[in-house]
Amino acid sequence: MLRDPGASGFVVELEKFSGPLDLLLHLIKEDEVDITDLPIAKIADQFLSVIAELGLNQAADYLEMAARLLRIKAQMLLPRRLGDDEWEDPRAELVRRLLEYQQIRELVDWLGHAANARAERFGRGYEAPPPDAPPAPLQIDLNDLLAAAERVIALIPEPMLHRVVPRPLDVEGATARIQALLAERETFGWRDAVGPEATLVDVLSTFIALLELAKRSSLTLSQPEPFGPMVITRAISREAA
Amino acid sequence: MQSLAKLLEAALFAASRPLTLEELASLDPGAGEGGVRAALAELRAAYSDEHGVELVEIAEGWQFLTRREYAETIERAQFALRPRRLSPAALETLAIIAYRQPVGRLEVDEIRGVDSGAVMDKLVERGLIEVVTRGEGLGRPLLYGTTPPFLEILGLKDLEDLPRLEELSVALRRPTPVDEPE
A162-171 confidence digits (pLDDT tens):
777 776 788 8
A106 contacts on B by Cβ (under 8 Å): 168-170
Residue A41 in domain: yes
Which residues numbered 102-161 in A keep a CB inside 8 Å of some CB on B?
Answer: 102-108, 110-112, 114-115, 117-126
Domain around A53: 5-78+89-116
- Length of chain A (residues): 241
- Span A197-217, mean pLDDT? 87
A134, part of any domain = no
Average pLDDT of the segment spanning B108-114: 91
Tell me, yes or no, whether A9 and A103 share the same domain. yes
**Distance from C-alpha of B37 to C-alpha of B18, rounded to nearest angstrom:** 15
B74, B98, B154: residue with CB nearest A122: B74
Q: Kindly report which listed range (A65-74, A89-98, A183-192, A230-239) carries the lowest average pLDDT score.
A: A230-239
- Cβ neighbors of B92 (< 8 A, separation 6 or more) are A18, A104, A105, A108, B112
Tell me the shortest Cα–Cα distance from A10 to chain B, in angstroms: 22
- ipTM of the complex model: 0.86
Q: Which residues contact B149 (CB under 8 A, 6 or more apart)?
A: B59, B126, B127, B128
Q: Are A219 and A181 in contact (CB under 8 A)?
A: no
Who contacts B42 (Cβ-Cβ below 8 Å, separation ≥6)? Answer: B1, B2, B5
How much of chain A, in percent, has pLDDT values that exceed 70?
A: 82
Pair A209, A112 in one domain: no
Q: Is residue A122 part of a domain?
A: no
Q: How far is B87 from chain A (nearest CA, A)?
A: 9
Q: Does A195 touch chain B (CB under 8 A)?
A: no
Q: How many helices and strands in chain B, by DSSP H and E?
A: 8, 5
A14 falls within a domain: yes
What are A74-118's pLDDT values in tens digits?
Answer: 888 887 766 666 777 888 889 989 999 999 999 999 999 999 999
Element (H, E) at A46: helix A40-51
pLDDT in tens, A4-40: 444 444 455 667 788 889 888 888 888 888 888 888 8
Chain B touched by A19 (CB under 8 Å): yes
Model confidence over A34-61: pLDDT tens digits? Answer: 888 888 888 888 888 888 766 555 677 8
Is A157 inside a domain boundary?
no
- Whether A36 maps to a domain, the answer reads yes
Q: What is the structure's pLDDT at A83? A: 66
Which among B15, B63, B154 is the nearest to A115, CB-wise?
B154
pLDDT higher than 50, residue B182: no
Cβ A213 vs Cβ A178: under 8 Å: yes
Q: Are B175 and A102 in contact (CB < 8 Å)? A: no
Domain identity same for A22 and A106: yes
- In the predicted structure, residue B72 carries a pLDDT above the cut 60: yes
Averaged confidence pLDDT in chain A: 81
At A34 the three-state DSSP class reads coil
- The conformation of residue B83, written as its DSSP 8-state character, comes to P
CB distance B80–A125 less than 8 Å? yes
Domains observed in chain B:
3-76 (1.10.10.10), 88-167 (1.10.10.10)
Are A110 and A38 within one domain? yes
- Mutate which: A15, A103, A109, vs B, most B CBs within 10 A: A103
User: Which of B41, B23, B25 is closest to B33 using CA atoms?
Assistant: B25
- pLDDT of B181 over the 70 cut: no
Residue A137 maps to a domain: no
**pLDDT: which is higher, A4 or B13:** B13
Return the percentage of chain B with pLDDT > 90, whole number: 68
Least CB-CB distance to B83: which of A61, A89, A119? Answer: A119
Q: Are residues A107 and A183 in the same domain?
A: no
Does some domain include residue A191?
yes
Amino acid A200: pLDDT = 82
Residues of B60-69 as b/e, b for ≥16 C-beta within 10 angstroms?
bbbbbbbeee
Helix (H, G, I), strand (E, B) or coil at B111: helix
* CATH number of domain containing A194: 1.10.10.580
Average pLDDT rounded to a whole number, residues B134-162: 92
Q: Do A31 and A104 belong to one domain?
A: yes
Q: How far apart are CA B64 and CA A125, in angstroms?
A: 11
Beta carbons of A224 and A231 less than 8 angstroms apart: yes
The tally of domains found in chain A comes to 2
Using CB atoms, pick whichever of B88, B154, B177 lies closest to residue A114: B154
